[in-house]
Chains A and B, each alone.
Chain A
């Protein structure tokens, strides 16, 4: 018949979101009988007749096309094993790592060594959550210098902001290069003061991610620290 919750309400697992057949269960919800229930803790969003929940916490779910940051943990016969700080390991195959021809006997550790970080794109995710990565896109590379910080992967959209407004602001005010991986790893490179300020700013966004007008607040915060 109707919805019981409103847009942006905080719901917990098992909360009734709607009754009757007028609404469809979307992401993170399920239907049992006449009612639609919440499956995770999060915020309700109601685009049209579908009820969805945007999680406020929780694990990173790998999706094709996501840009992620990972650490190389092992070198296999024809590629690298990469740790994305999720429950699953990712593979970067030689053919997806570079456009150059690599000879059979070439030492792969000369190209990317163990413990080095890479910015890569997910090109395939299987039903068992095995992940294939690629470096063959502009901007994807091995990371050198700077620092890596970890944030909750559900807060990544807030750190980037609408059309990248937040991340552009931090880049401008701190003079850092910043890459945000969808899995919650962030790479910063700039002057040491700039890196420190950018790291503090990102941690601050992670803490205050629910507040309205966060970009304006962060602008004031960063201006107060750069002068």
Chain B
């Protein structure tokens, strides 16, 4: 059996319906909400502010620190234990590494910029939604950045290379691979690349080519969200 038609009827390079908004949390220095299909990420940026614990301070440049958390009711019925666990620690780490190359904190030695991402609802692609939301929130907070980062998952479902997998596709019977990718806009440089599953070399190259177009669509939405907020004001 070959995966020809996608479960929700999308074409192979089509992303789920997206929605983004900047400035959703008045208390934060910058914030954003990013929805892709049923996955929903809310990011809040605080700082640059004094860093505690002090031994984590870096006198050469500011530090970027991410927090990732799935809300207890965000899954498909089972309560998710909130707070730190191995998975959320890993995702927070890859988020930091995906955003660090574009964020320029050289003017803020010993300070920290905190990014908190909460996910009220999840349906695969949470780390990608989290990175896309965090990128909008950082720009909204006025943090110096060399470029925007847009992120989307690509992958292969039973021999077909597709963009933006949803949970039912990740759980599809057969050989599946899920590849979250984050890219900068101008250079199309990859800042996040992970993989779960199996894929052939030819398909991987095809998937990465697909990711360029897919992240570009996310980027257009990020720009729209930011410009909307600041022309309204």
A binding-site residues for B, Cβ under 8 Å? 10, 12-14, 16, 28, 30, 37, 39-42, 55-59, 61, 86-89, 127-129, 154, 207-210
How many interface residues does chain B have, given as a range?
35 or more
Asked if A154 contacts B142 (CB within 8 A), the reply is yes
With beta carbons under 8 angstroms apart, the residue of A16, A58, A207, A209 that contacts B142 is A58
Asked if B109 contacts A57 (CB within 8 A), the reply is no
With beta carbons under 8 angstroms apart, the residue of B48, B140, B146, B227 that contacts A10 is B227
**A14 to B49 Cα, complex, angstroms:** 24
With beta carbons under 8 angstroms apart, the residue of A12, A40, A42, A59 that contacts B48 is A59
Contact flags B200-223 to A (C-beta < 8 A → 1, else 0): 000000000000000000000011
Contact flags B103-114 to A (C-beta < 8 A → 1, else 0): 010011111100
With beta carbons under 8 angstroms apart, the residue of A12, A40, A86, A128 that contacts B227 is A12
Chain A residues closer than 8 Å to B125, beta-carbon distance: none
The secondary-structure label for the interface of chain A is loop
Asked if A129 contacts B108 (CB within 8 A), the reply is yes
**A130 to B155 Cα, complex, angstroms:** 49
**A39 to B147 Cα, complex, angstroms:** 7
Chain A residues closer than 8 Å to B222, beta-carbon distance: 12
CB nearest neighbor in B for A57: B142
Asked if A57 contacts B107 (CB within 8 A), the reply is no
Asked if B59 contacts A208 (CB within 8 A), the reply is no
Q: Is there a chain A Cβ closer than 8 Å to B29's Cβ?
A: yes
**A89 to B110 Cα, complex, angstroms:** 11
Asked if A88 contacts B230 (CB within 8 A), the reply is no
